[in-house]
Amino acid sequence: MSAVNITNVTVLDNPAPFVAPFQFEISYECVTPLKDDLEWKLVYVGSAEDETYDQLLESVLVGPVNVGNYRFVLQAEPPDPSKIREEDIIGVTVLLLTCSYMGQEFVRVGYYVNNDYDDDQLREEPPQKVLIDRVQRNILSDKPRVTKFPINFHGENGENGENGDQEPPPDQTTEQEGKEEAVAPPTSPGRPSDGGE
């Protein structure tokens, strides 16, 4: 059992213009006190074929983490369209919300995102150069794909919390272990070309 469990993620302001900030309301519970902060990241997948186009939109540390329920809003700037290939701006891509503890990622929530023009005429006859201020993004928030990775929440000395965490340290796990309900392993973060659903 994980020391931290995401209980709900609500995508705010969705759909929204491509150039609008992202906002996620994240609720989670902690079942054992942790001595370090949790690191939450939001990554925009800029290309299904090439992860060098991925953009880290936000990274925040949240703590201290004691036993209890928590809720906060993660805000992030939109991706920089100049760092995305023109042909990859319109269409379906992926947004990844991850949480790590002491450098160990233990949960990843992947969302498909559909980017398209906000006007029927533009959708039917798209201009040669993308009009970014007319592009609308729609996060498919009702179908998140969650992957959990077993990590050691209690450091090298193996102190277990009251919940009896028996998770092995990261060097004894493989990317495919754990409860995989979602996306692909970390090296290929759930890109749409991986076969979708």
Query: Cα separation of 45 and 40, whole Å?
Result: 16
93-149 pLDDT per residue, tens: 999 999 999 999 999 999 999 999 999 999 999 999 999 999 999 999 998 999 999
Query: Cα separation of 160 and 157, whole Å?
Result: 9
Q: Class assignment of domain 4-194?
A: mainly beta
Query: Cα separation of 167 and 134, whole Å?
Result: 47
Q: Which of 76-90, 147-161, 174-188 has the highest mean pLDDT?
A: 76-90
CA 107 to chain centre: 9
Query: Cα separation of 170 and 156, whole Å?
Result: 11
* 15 phi/psi in degrees, rounded to 5: -70, 170
